[in-house]
With several copies, the nearest count.
Chain A
Amino acid sequence: SSITVASTTSTEQSGLFGHLLPRFTGRTGIEVRVVALGTGQALDVGRRGDADVVFVHDRAAEEKFVAEGHGVNRVEVMYNDFVIAGPKSDPAKAAGSDILQALQRIAATEQPFISRGDRSGTHAAELRYWQAAGIDIADAGGDWYREIGQGMGPALNMASASNAYVLSDRGTWLSFKNRGELAILVEGDRRLFNQYGVMLVNPEKHPDVQATEGQAFIDWLVSDEGQQAIGDYRIDGQQLFFPNAGATQISQ
Protein backbone atom coordinates (compact mmCIF):
# COMPACT_ATOMS: atom_id res chain seq x y z
CA SER A 1 0.00 0.00 0.00
CA SER A 2 1.07 3.56 -0.47
CA ILE A 3 0.16 7.01 0.82
CA THR A 4 0.57 10.45 -0.70
CA VAL A 5 2.18 13.19 1.39
CA ALA A 6 1.87 16.83 0.33
CA SER A 7 4.91 18.67 1.54
CA THR A 8 7.03 21.70 0.82
CA THR A 9 9.79 22.06 -1.72
CA SER A 10 12.27 23.01 1.00
CA THR A 11 11.77 19.76 2.89
CA GLU A 12 12.02 17.70 -0.28
CA GLN A 13 15.00 19.59 -1.68
CA SER A 14 16.93 19.32 1.58
CA GLY A 15 16.97 15.58 1.01
CA LEU A 16 15.26 14.82 4.34
CA PHE A 17 12.61 12.57 2.81
CA GLY A 18 15.24 10.61 0.95
CA HIS A 19 16.72 9.89 4.37
CA LEU A 20 13.51 9.14 6.28
CA LEU A 21 11.28 7.25 3.88
CA PRO A 22 13.36 4.11 3.35
CA ARG A 23 13.44 3.65 7.13
CA PHE A 24 9.69 4.08 7.45
CA THR A 25 8.92 1.86 4.50
CA GLY A 26 11.36 -0.74 5.78
CA ARG A 27 9.56 -0.88 9.08
CA THR A 28 5.93 -0.75 7.95
CA GLY A 29 5.93 -1.78 4.29
CA ILE A 30 3.98 1.37 3.48
CA GLU A 31 5.26 3.23 0.47
CA VAL A 32 5.23 7.04 0.72
CA ARG A 33 4.85 9.30 -2.28
CA VAL A 34 5.89 12.85 -1.55
CA VAL A 35 4.46 15.64 -3.67
CA ALA A 36 6.62 18.69 -3.03
CA LEU A 37 4.74 21.95 -3.50
CA GLY A 38 4.53 25.50 -2.17
CA THR A 39 2.98 25.52 1.30
CA GLY A 40 -0.18 27.17 -0.04
CA GLN A 41 -0.52 24.61 -2.80
CA ALA A 42 0.26 21.73 -0.45
CA LEU A 43 -2.58 22.77 1.83
CA ASP A 44 -4.85 23.17 -1.18
CA VAL A 45 -4.04 19.64 -2.30
CA GLY A 46 -4.98 18.44 1.16
CA ARG A 47 -8.17 20.47 1.11
CA ARG A 48 -9.25 18.65 -2.07
CA GLY A 49 -8.47 15.27 -0.57
CA ASP A 50 -5.68 14.53 -3.02
CA ALA A 51 -3.16 13.74 -0.31
CA ASP A 52 -3.40 11.67 2.83
CA VAL A 53 -0.96 13.63 4.95
CA VAL A 54 0.13 17.28 4.84
CA PHE A 55 3.59 18.17 6.16
CA VAL A 56 4.32 21.92 6.02
CA HIS A 57 5.66 24.86 8.02
CA ASP A 58 3.22 27.74 8.34
CA ARG A 59 1.53 27.47 11.71
CA ALA A 60 -1.19 30.04 11.13
CA ALA A 61 -2.25 28.43 7.87
CA GLU A 62 -2.04 24.94 9.35
CA GLU A 63 -4.27 25.85 12.26
CA LYS A 64 -6.79 27.38 9.89
CA PHE A 65 -6.66 24.18 7.85
CA VAL A 66 -7.49 22.09 10.92
CA ALA A 67 -10.07 24.55 12.20
CA GLU A 68 -11.94 24.36 8.90
CA GLY A 69 -12.12 20.61 9.30
CA HIS A 70 -9.83 19.70 6.40
CA GLY A 71 -7.26 18.11 8.65
CA VAL A 72 -7.22 16.33 11.96
CA ASN A 73 -4.73 16.27 14.76
CA ARG A 74 -1.93 18.67 13.86
CA VAL A 75 1.26 17.56 15.58
CA GLU A 76 4.59 19.32 15.67
CA VAL A 77 7.49 17.26 14.42
CA MET A 78 10.64 19.30 14.16
CA TYR A 79 12.03 22.68 13.51
CA ASN A 80 14.88 24.11 11.58
CA ASP A 81 15.96 27.69 11.34
CA PHE A 82 16.15 30.49 8.87
CA VAL A 83 19.32 32.30 7.94
CA ILE A 84 20.07 35.42 5.98
CA ALA A 85 22.51 34.75 3.17
CA GLY A 86 24.23 37.55 1.36
CA PRO A 87 27.43 38.55 -0.40
CA LYS A 88 30.57 37.78 1.58
CA SER A 89 31.61 41.43 1.26
CA ASP A 90 28.42 42.36 3.14
CA PRO A 91 27.97 45.89 1.85
CA ALA A 92 25.00 46.47 4.21
CA LYS A 93 27.02 45.40 7.25
CA ALA A 94 24.14 43.10 8.18
CA ALA A 95 26.20 40.24 9.65
CA GLY A 96 25.43 39.27 13.20
CA SER A 97 22.77 37.41 15.12
CA ASP A 98 19.97 40.00 15.20
CA ILE A 99 17.55 39.47 12.38
CA LEU A 100 15.66 42.72 12.88
CA GLN A 101 18.79 44.85 12.92
CA ALA A 102 20.09 43.10 9.82
CA LEU A 103 16.91 43.85 7.89
CA GLN A 104 16.96 47.47 8.98
CA ARG A 105 20.51 47.86 7.69
CA ILE A 106 19.68 46.24 4.37
CA ALA A 107 16.71 48.55 3.96
CA ALA A 108 18.71 51.59 5.00
CA THR A 109 21.48 50.92 2.47
CA GLU A 110 18.98 49.71 -0.14
CA GLN A 111 21.09 46.65 -0.89
CA PRO A 112 19.29 44.21 -3.21
CA PHE A 113 17.09 41.75 -1.34
CA ILE A 114 15.32 38.81 -2.97
CA SER A 115 11.93 37.93 -1.57
CA ARG A 116 10.27 34.67 -2.57
CA GLY A 117 6.96 36.46 -2.77
CA ASP A 118 5.13 33.14 -3.19
CA ARG A 119 3.14 33.16 0.05
CA SER A 120 5.10 30.15 1.24
CA GLY A 121 5.94 29.51 4.88
CA THR A 122 9.30 31.15 4.36
CA HIS A 123 7.73 34.15 2.67
CA ALA A 124 5.21 34.49 5.50
CA ALA A 125 8.05 34.45 8.03
CA GLU A 126 10.00 37.05 6.05
CA LEU A 127 7.03 39.39 6.04
CA ARG A 128 6.67 38.97 9.79
CA TYR A 129 10.33 39.92 10.30
CA TRP A 130 10.02 43.07 8.17
CA GLN A 131 6.98 44.06 10.13
CA ALA A 132 8.73 43.46 13.42
CA ALA A 133 11.67 45.52 12.17
CA GLY A 134 9.29 48.38 11.54
CA ILE A 135 9.74 48.49 7.79
CA ASP A 136 6.75 48.76 5.50
CA ILE A 137 7.94 46.70 2.61
CA ALA A 138 4.97 47.55 0.42
CA ASP A 139 6.06 51.15 0.71
CA ALA A 140 9.77 50.54 0.46
CA GLY A 141 10.09 51.87 -3.05
CA GLY A 142 13.17 51.51 -5.22
CA ASP A 143 14.07 48.30 -6.97
CA TRP A 144 16.26 46.87 -4.24
CA TYR A 145 13.42 44.71 -2.91
CA ARG A 146 12.52 42.09 -5.51
CA GLU A 147 9.61 39.71 -5.20
CA ILE A 148 10.25 36.82 -7.53
CA GLY A 149 7.30 34.59 -6.84
CA GLN A 150 9.32 31.40 -6.86
CA GLY A 151 10.56 28.68 -4.57
CA MET A 152 13.57 28.73 -2.28
CA GLY A 153 15.99 27.34 -4.83
CA PRO A 154 15.25 29.92 -7.53
CA ALA A 155 15.43 32.67 -4.92
CA LEU A 156 18.91 31.49 -3.93
CA ASN A 157 19.87 31.16 -7.58
CA MET A 158 18.83 34.70 -8.25
CA ALA A 159 20.52 36.05 -5.10
CA SER A 160 23.70 34.30 -6.12
CA ALA A 161 23.50 35.68 -9.65
CA SER A 162 22.86 39.23 -8.49
CA ASN A 163 24.80 39.29 -5.18
CA ALA A 164 21.68 40.00 -3.17
CA TYR A 165 20.54 39.23 0.36
CA VAL A 166 17.95 36.53 0.87
CA LEU A 167 16.15 34.76 3.68
CA SER A 168 16.50 31.00 3.41
CA ASP A 169 15.82 27.97 5.52
CA ARG A 170 19.01 26.29 6.57
CA GLY A 171 18.12 22.95 5.00
CA THR A 172 17.76 24.33 1.51
CA TRP A 173 20.87 26.45 2.00
CA LEU A 174 22.97 23.47 3.00
CA SER A 175 21.88 21.40 0.05
CA PHE A 176 22.14 24.35 -2.37
CA LYS A 177 25.07 24.08 -4.75
CA ASN A 178 25.15 27.33 -6.71
CA ARG A 179 26.24 29.63 -3.89
CA GLY A 180 28.65 31.81 -5.80
CA GLU A 181 29.73 34.68 -3.54
CA LEU A 182 27.00 34.06 -0.99
CA ALA A 183 27.57 33.13 2.62
CA ILE A 184 25.47 32.95 5.78
CA LEU A 185 25.54 36.37 7.45
CA VAL A 186 22.78 36.19 10.04
CA GLU A 187 21.94 33.09 12.12
CA GLY A 188 21.22 31.95 15.62
CA ASP A 189 18.41 34.38 16.50
CA ARG A 190 15.71 32.44 18.32
CA ARG A 191 13.16 34.35 16.29
CA LEU A 192 14.50 32.54 13.22
CA PHE A 193 13.22 29.14 14.36
CA ASN A 194 10.87 27.50 11.86
CA GLN A 195 8.38 24.92 13.13
CA TYR A 196 7.12 22.02 11.00
CA GLY A 197 3.75 20.44 11.59
CA VAL A 198 2.11 17.33 10.17
CA MET A 199 -1.56 16.47 9.97
CA LEU A 200 -3.82 13.79 8.55
CA VAL A 201 -6.33 14.86 5.94
CA ASN A 202 -9.80 14.47 7.38
CA PRO A 203 -11.11 11.03 6.33
CA GLU A 204 -14.66 12.07 7.14
CA LYS A 205 -14.53 14.70 4.41
CA HIS A 206 -12.59 12.55 2.01
CA PRO A 207 -13.44 8.87 2.26
CA ASP A 208 -10.57 7.93 -0.07
CA VAL A 209 -7.99 9.04 2.48
CA GLN A 210 -5.86 6.17 3.71
CA ALA A 211 -6.37 7.08 7.33
CA THR A 212 -4.69 4.06 8.92
CA GLU A 213 -1.54 4.23 6.84
CA GLY A 214 -1.40 8.03 7.04
CA GLN A 215 -1.71 7.92 10.79
CA ALA A 216 0.99 5.27 10.91
CA PHE A 217 3.32 7.68 9.12
CA ILE A 218 2.52 10.51 11.51
CA ASP A 219 2.94 8.21 14.49
CA TRP A 220 6.28 7.04 13.21
CA LEU A 221 7.52 10.60 12.66
CA VAL A 222 6.88 11.48 16.31
CA SER A 223 8.07 8.11 17.63
CA ASP A 224 11.51 7.84 19.10
CA GLU A 225 12.75 6.08 16.01
CA GLY A 226 11.39 8.77 13.69
CA GLN A 227 12.68 11.60 15.83
CA GLN A 228 16.07 9.93 16.00
CA ALA A 229 16.15 9.59 12.23
CA ILE A 230 15.33 13.28 11.77
CA GLY A 231 18.08 14.27 14.16
CA ASP A 232 20.54 12.04 12.35
CA TYR A 233 20.14 13.69 9.01
CA ARG A 234 23.17 15.78 8.19
CA ILE A 235 24.79 17.48 5.23
CA ASP A 236 28.53 18.08 5.49
CA GLY A 237 28.32 17.23 9.15
CA GLN A 238 25.67 19.86 9.87
CA GLN A 239 22.31 18.97 11.32
CA LEU A 240 19.40 20.39 9.29
CA PHE A 241 16.33 19.61 11.38
CA PHE A 242 15.84 19.43 15.11
CA PRO A 243 13.19 16.97 16.29
CA ASN A 244 10.86 18.47 18.87
CA ALA A 245 7.72 16.35 18.89
CA GLY A 246 5.87 16.70 22.13
CA ALA A 247 8.04 19.63 23.22
CA THR A 248 6.32 22.82 24.18
CA GLN A 249 5.66 25.29 21.50
CA ILE A 250 8.68 27.22 20.29
CA SER A 251 8.17 30.94 20.54
CA GLN A 252 8.25 32.66 17.18
Chain B
Amino acid sequence: MQSLGDAFSMLGALDHDVMAIAWLSLRVSLSAVLLGSLVAIPLGALLAIVTFPGRPLVVAVVNAFMGLPPVLVGLIVYLLLSRSGPLGALGLLFSPGAMIVAQTVLAIPLLAALTRQIVEDAHRELDEQLRSLRLDVWQRIRVLVFHLRFSLVVAVLAAFGRAISEVGAVLVVGGNIDGYTRTMTTAISLETQKGDLPLAIALGILLIAIVLVVNGTASAMRAYTMRLYP
Protein backbone atom coordinates (compact mmCIF):
# COMPACT_ATOMS: atom_id res chain seq x y z
CA MET B 1 0.00 0.00 0.00
CA GLN B 2 1.66 3.16 -1.17
CA SER B 3 -0.82 5.48 0.49
CA LEU B 4 -0.09 4.24 4.01
CA GLY B 5 2.91 6.55 4.02
CA ASP B 6 0.62 9.46 3.18
CA ALA B 7 -1.74 8.35 5.90
CA PHE B 8 1.01 8.45 8.47
CA SER B 9 2.09 11.89 7.43
CA MET B 10 -1.56 12.87 7.71
CA LEU B 11 -1.52 11.51 11.25
CA GLY B 12 1.52 13.63 11.86
CA ALA B 13 -0.27 16.71 10.59
CA LEU B 14 -3.36 16.02 12.68
CA ASP B 15 -1.15 15.38 15.64
CA HIS B 16 -2.96 17.55 18.11
CA ASP B 17 -6.36 15.93 17.49
CA VAL B 18 -4.93 12.44 17.22
CA MET B 19 -3.04 12.80 20.46
CA ALA B 20 -6.20 13.93 22.23
CA ILE B 21 -8.11 10.95 20.87
CA ALA B 22 -5.34 8.53 21.84
CA TRP B 23 -5.15 10.00 25.29
CA LEU B 24 -8.91 9.64 25.75
CA SER B 25 -8.79 5.98 24.66
CA LEU B 26 -5.98 5.29 27.06
CA ARG B 27 -7.60 7.14 29.93
CA VAL B 28 -10.97 5.45 29.50
CA SER B 29 -9.59 1.94 29.13
CA LEU B 30 -7.07 2.22 31.93
CA SER B 31 -9.76 3.56 34.26
CA ALA B 32 -12.10 0.74 33.28
CA VAL B 33 -9.43 -1.89 33.86
CA LEU B 34 -8.44 -0.38 37.18
CA LEU B 35 -12.05 -0.25 38.39
CA GLY B 36 -12.71 -3.71 36.98
CA SER B 37 -9.65 -5.15 38.70
CA LEU B 38 -10.67 -3.81 42.08
CA VAL B 39 -13.94 -5.69 41.77
CA ALA B 40 -13.08 -8.71 39.68
CA ILE B 41 -9.76 -9.88 41.08
CA PRO B 42 -11.06 -10.40 44.64
CA LEU B 43 -14.25 -11.85 43.22
CA GLY B 44 -12.43 -14.27 40.92
CA ALA B 45 -10.16 -15.30 43.77
CA LEU B 46 -13.15 -15.81 46.03
CA LEU B 47 -14.78 -18.02 43.43
CA ALA B 48 -11.55 -20.01 43.17
CA ILE B 49 -11.33 -20.84 46.86
CA VAL B 50 -14.87 -21.32 48.06
CA THR B 51 -16.99 -24.38 47.45
CA PHE B 52 -20.76 -24.32 47.39
CA PRO B 53 -23.42 -26.33 45.63
CA GLY B 54 -23.95 -24.16 42.55
CA ARG B 55 -20.27 -23.35 42.04
CA PRO B 56 -19.72 -25.04 38.65
CA LEU B 57 -22.73 -23.17 37.33
CA VAL B 58 -21.43 -19.82 38.58
CA VAL B 59 -18.04 -20.58 37.04
CA ALA B 60 -19.71 -21.39 33.72
CA VAL B 61 -21.69 -18.15 33.87
CA VAL B 62 -18.61 -16.05 34.60
CA ASN B 63 -16.75 -17.79 31.78
CA ALA B 64 -19.67 -17.24 29.45
CA PHE B 65 -19.75 -13.54 30.28
CA MET B 66 -16.32 -13.25 28.70
CA GLY B 67 -18.43 -13.50 25.55
CA LEU B 68 -20.70 -10.54 26.36
CA PRO B 69 -21.10 -8.69 23.08
CA PRO B 70 -19.86 -5.11 23.50
CA VAL B 71 -22.88 -3.77 21.62
CA LEU B 72 -25.23 -5.50 24.05
CA VAL B 73 -23.32 -4.11 27.01
CA GLY B 74 -23.39 -0.74 25.32
CA LEU B 75 -27.14 -0.94 24.85
CA ILE B 76 -27.83 -1.97 28.40
CA VAL B 77 -25.59 0.73 29.84
CA TYR B 78 -27.23 3.12 27.41
CA LEU B 79 -30.71 2.25 28.65
CA LEU B 80 -29.57 2.61 32.25
CA LEU B 81 -27.87 5.95 31.71
CA SER B 82 -30.42 7.32 29.27
CA ARG B 83 -32.25 10.36 30.58
CA SER B 84 -35.38 8.26 30.69
CA GLY B 85 -33.51 5.36 32.34
CA PRO B 86 -33.04 4.69 36.07
CA LEU B 87 -29.62 6.40 36.23
CA GLY B 88 -30.49 9.17 33.81
CA ALA B 89 -30.12 11.80 36.50
CA LEU B 90 -26.35 11.27 36.51
CA GLY B 91 -26.22 12.84 33.05
CA LEU B 92 -23.42 10.45 32.09
CA LEU B 93 -24.70 9.39 28.66
CA PHE B 94 -22.53 10.38 25.70
CA SER B 95 -19.63 11.21 28.02
CA PRO B 96 -16.30 9.57 28.79
CA GLY B 97 -17.78 8.46 32.11
CA ALA B 98 -20.35 6.34 30.31
CA MET B 99 -17.61 4.73 28.27
CA ILE B 100 -15.69 3.86 31.43
CA VAL B 101 -18.80 2.25 32.89
CA ALA B 102 -19.42 0.17 29.75
CA GLN B 103 -15.82 -0.99 29.46
CA THR B 104 -15.69 -1.83 33.14
CA VAL B 105 -18.66 -4.12 32.62
CA LEU B 106 -16.82 -5.76 29.71
CA ALA B 107 -13.57 -6.10 31.65
CA ILE B 108 -15.03 -7.64 34.79
CA PRO B 109 -15.95 -11.12 33.50
CA LEU B 110 -12.64 -11.56 31.69
CA LEU B 111 -10.69 -10.48 34.77
CA ALA B 112 -12.79 -12.61 37.09
CA ALA B 113 -12.66 -15.74 34.93
CA LEU B 114 -8.91 -15.58 34.36
CA THR B 115 -8.23 -14.72 38.00
CA ARG B 116 -10.38 -17.66 39.07
CA GLN B 117 -8.37 -20.09 36.98
CA ILE B 118 -4.97 -18.74 37.94
CA VAL B 119 -5.85 -18.65 41.64
CA GLU B 120 -7.48 -22.09 41.49
CA ASP B 121 -4.33 -23.62 40.05
CA ALA B 122 -2.13 -22.18 42.78
CA HIS B 123 -4.70 -22.82 45.45
CA ARG B 124 -4.54 -26.56 44.98
CA GLU B 125 -1.02 -26.44 46.44
CA LEU B 126 -1.64 -23.80 49.10
CA ASP B 127 -5.17 -24.49 50.29
CA GLU B 128 -4.39 -26.70 53.27
CA GLN B 129 -1.41 -24.59 54.28
CA LEU B 130 -3.47 -21.40 54.37
CA ARG B 131 -6.40 -22.98 56.13
CA SER B 132 -4.13 -24.57 58.71
CA LEU B 133 -2.76 -21.10 59.44
CA ARG B 134 -6.37 -20.16 60.27
CA LEU B 135 -6.50 -17.33 57.76
CA ASP B 136 -10.02 -16.18 57.07
CA VAL B 137 -11.37 -16.04 53.54
CA TRP B 138 -10.32 -12.44 52.88
CA GLN B 139 -6.87 -12.99 54.28
CA ARG B 140 -6.48 -16.05 52.07
CA ILE B 141 -7.58 -14.04 49.05
CA ARG B 142 -5.10 -11.31 49.88
CA VAL B 143 -2.29 -13.79 50.30
CA LEU B 144 -3.14 -15.67 47.09
CA VAL B 145 -3.44 -12.50 45.03
CA PHE B 146 -0.11 -11.35 46.42
CA HIS B 147 1.45 -14.76 45.73
CA LEU B 148 0.18 -14.60 42.14
CA ARG B 149 0.82 -10.92 41.49
CA PHE B 150 3.11 -11.66 38.57
CA SER B 151 0.76 -14.15 36.95
CA LEU B 152 -2.32 -11.97 37.31
CA VAL B 153 -0.68 -9.28 35.22
CA VAL B 154 -1.70 -11.27 32.17
CA ALA B 155 -5.35 -11.14 33.18
CA VAL B 156 -5.16 -7.38 33.62
CA LEU B 157 -3.46 -7.01 30.26
CA ALA B 158 -6.08 -9.21 28.58
CA ALA B 159 -8.81 -7.01 30.03
CA PHE B 160 -6.97 -3.90 28.93
CA GLY B 161 -6.66 -5.38 25.44
CA ARG B 162 -10.34 -6.14 25.32
CA ALA B 163 -11.28 -2.66 26.58
CA ILE B 164 -9.06 -0.57 24.37
CA SER B 165 -9.83 -2.53 21.22
CA GLU B 166 -13.60 -2.71 21.46
CA VAL B 167 -15.75 -0.29 19.58
CA GLY B 168 -19.34 -1.49 20.02
CA ALA B 169 -19.88 -0.31 23.56
CA VAL B 170 -18.06 3.03 23.40
CA LEU B 171 -19.88 3.85 20.19
CA VAL B 172 -23.31 3.29 21.68
CA VAL B 173 -22.76 4.97 25.03
CA GLY B 174 -20.18 7.55 23.99
CA GLY B 175 -21.68 8.53 20.66
CA ASN B 176 -18.32 9.09 18.92
CA ILE B 177 -18.65 12.85 19.47
CA ASP B 178 -15.82 14.70 17.78
CA GLY B 179 -13.50 16.21 20.34
CA TYR B 180 -15.34 14.73 23.30
CA THR B 181 -15.99 10.99 23.11
CA ARG B 182 -14.17 10.01 19.94
CA THR B 183 -11.75 7.20 20.74
CA MET B 184 -9.16 5.48 18.60
CA THR B 185 -11.51 2.65 17.75
CA THR B 186 -14.51 4.81 16.91
CA ALA B 187 -12.22 6.98 14.80
CA ILE B 188 -10.95 3.88 12.98
CA SER B 189 -14.53 2.82 12.38
CA LEU B 190 -15.44 6.25 11.10
CA GLU B 191 -12.52 6.38 8.68
CA THR B 192 -13.35 2.89 7.48
CA GLN B 193 -16.89 4.00 6.77
CA LYS B 194 -15.57 7.00 4.93
CA GLY B 195 -13.59 4.58 2.82
CA ASP B 196 -10.32 6.10 3.94
CA LEU B 197 -8.75 2.72 4.59
CA PRO B 198 -5.15 3.94 4.73
CA LEU B 199 -6.00 6.45 7.43
CA ALA B 200 -8.03 3.81 9.29
CA ILE B 201 -5.10 1.43 9.18
CA ALA B 202 -2.67 4.13 10.22
CA LEU B 203 -4.87 4.87 13.23
CA GLY B 204 -5.05 1.15 13.95
CA ILE B 205 -1.31 0.86 13.88
CA LEU B 206 -0.98 3.86 16.17
CA LEU B 207 -3.42 2.23 18.57
CA ILE B 208 -1.40 -0.97 18.57
CA ALA B 209 1.73 1.06 19.17
CA ILE B 210 0.09 2.61 22.23
CA VAL B 211 -0.99 -0.80 23.48
CA LEU B 212 2.55 -2.05 22.92
CA VAL B 213 3.96 0.74 25.04
CA VAL B 214 1.54 -0.08 27.86
CA ASN B 215 2.37 -3.78 27.64
CA GLY B 216 6.07 -3.13 27.38
CA THR B 217 5.94 -0.98 30.50
CA ALA B 218 3.96 -3.63 32.36
CA SER B 219 6.38 -6.33 31.22
CA ALA B 220 9.40 -4.36 32.29
CA MET B 221 7.93 -3.57 35.70
CA ARG B 222 6.94 -7.19 36.14
CA ALA B 223 10.38 -8.45 35.15
CA TYR B 224 12.05 -5.96 37.48
CA THR B 225 10.04 -6.91 40.55
CA MET B 226 9.99 -10.62 39.68
CA ARG B 227 13.77 -10.80 39.65
CA LEU B 228 13.80 -11.14 43.44
CA TYR B 229 11.25 -13.97 43.65
CA PRO B 230 11.87 -16.13 40.57
A interface, CB within 8 angstroms of B:
4, 9, 12-13, 17-18, 33-45, 48-50, 117-120, 143, 146-154, 156-158, 160-162, 172, 175-180, 206, 208
Closest 6 CB pairs of A and B: A153-B193, A40-B195, A178-B195, A38-B193, A44-B195, A35-B175
Shortest CB-to-CB span from B131 to chain A, Å, is 52
Given contacts A50-B83, A118-B190, A208-B83, is CB(A149)–CB(B176) below 8 Å? yes
Asked if B225 lies at the interface with its beta carbon under 8 angstroms from chain A, I say no
> Is the C-beta of B46 less than 8 angstroms from some C-beta in chain A?
no
In contact, B196 and A151 (Cβ under 8 angstroms): no
> Cβ of B128 < 8 Å from any Cβ of A?
no
Residue pair B83, A161 in contact (C-beta under 8 Å): yes
User: Which of B84, B171, B190 has a CB less than 8 Å from the CB of A49?
Assistant: B84
Task: Identify whether the interface residues of B are mostly helix, strand, loop, or mixed.
Answer: loop
Digit string of B71-103 for contact with A (CB within 8 Å is 1, else 0)?
Answer: 000000010001111001001011000000000
Q: Does B39 interact with chain A (Cβ within 8 Å)?
A: no
> Which B residues are closer than 8 A to A by beta carbons?
78, 82-85, 88, 91, 93-94, 171-172, 175-178, 180-182, 186-187, 189-190, 192-197
B181 CB, nearest partner CB in chain A, Å: 8
Q: Are A49 and B83 in contact (CB under 8 A)?
A: yes
Inter-chain CA distance A143–B180, complex, in Å, is 10
A40–B193 touching, CB < 8 Å: yes
Write the nearest CB–CB distance from B9 to chain A, whole angstroms.
Answer: 16
Contact A177 B177 (CB under 8 A): no
Contact: B94 with A161, CB < 8 Å? yes
Q: Which of A17, A160, A206 contacts B195 (CB 8 A)?
A: A160
A180 and B93 alpha carbons, distance in the complex (Å): 16
Of the candidates A17, A50, A177, A178, the one whose C-beta lies within 8 Å of that of B94 is A50
B contact residues around A50 at 8 Å (CB): 82-84, 93-94
CB of B94 within 8 A of CB of A36, answer no
Q: Is the CB of B190 within 8 A of A13?
A: yes
Please indicate the chain B residues that have their CB under 8 angstroms from the CB of A35 in the complex.
94, 175-177
| Interchain CB contact (< 8 A) of B193 among A4, A41, A48, A49 | A41
Q: In the complex, are the beta carbons of A117 and B193 less than 8 A apart?
A: no
The residue in chain B whose Cβ has the minimal distance to the Cβ of A180 is B84
Q: In the bound complex, what is the Cα–Cα distance between A22 and B9 (angstroms)?
A: 25
Q: How far is the CB of A118 from chain B (nearest CB, A)?
A: 5
Residue of A nearest to B175 (CB): A35
**A41 touching B94, Cβ below 8 Å:** no
| Docked pose: A130 CA to B176 CA in angstroms | 22
Q: Contact between A151 and B94 (Cβ–Cβ < 8 Å)? A: no
Report B175 CB to chain A, min CB distance, Å.
4
Does B195 contact A9, Cβ atoms closer than 8 Å? no
Nearest residue in B to A152 (C-beta to C-beta)? B193
Contact A179 B190 (CB under 8 A): no
Give the complex CA separation of A177 and B94 in angstroms.
20
Q: Which residues does chain B contribute within 8 Å of A38, judged by CB atoms?
A: 192-195
Distance between Cα atoms of A40 and B197 in the complex (Å): 10
Q: What is the CA–CA distance of A118 and B194 in the complex, to the nearest angstrom?
A: 6
Docked Cα-Cα span, A40 to B171, in Å, equals 16
The answer to whether A146 touches B195 (Cβ under 8 A) is no
Give 5 A-B contacts (CB < 8 Å), ordered by A residue. Answer: A34-B178, A36-B175, A41-B193, A150-B171, A157-B192
Roughly how many angstroms separate A157 CA and B182 CA in the complex, as a whole number?
17
Q: Do B171 and A154 touch across chains, with their CB atoms under 8 A apart?
A: yes
Give A208 to B187 CA distance when docked, in angstroms: 29
Residues in A with CB closer than 8 Å to B175 are 4, 33, 35-37, 146, 148, 150, 154, 158
- Residues in A neighbouring B187, C-beta threshold 8 A: 149
Are the CB atoms of A48 and B84 closer together than 8 Å?
Answer: yes
A13 close to B194 (CB less than 8 A): yes
Q: Which residues of A contact B193 (CB under 8 A)?
A: 9, 13, 37-38, 40-41, 118-120, 149-154, 157
Nearest CB in chain A to that of B190: its residue: A149
Residue numbers in B under 8 Å from A34 (CB-CB): 177-178
CA distance in complex: A106, B137 (Å): 61
A34, B174: Cα distance in complex, Å: 11
Whole-angstrom distance from the CB of B37 to the nearest CB of chain A? 30
CB within 8 Å for A176 and B195 given contacts A49-B83, A149-B186, A149-B190: yes
In the complex, are the beta carbons of A177 and B180 less than 8 A apart?
no
User: In the complex the two chains form, what is the Cα distance from A218 to B14 in whole Å?
Assistant: 30
Cβ of A40 and Cβ of B196 under 8 Å apart? yes
The reply to whether B190 and A150 contact each other, CB–CB distance below 8 Å, is yes
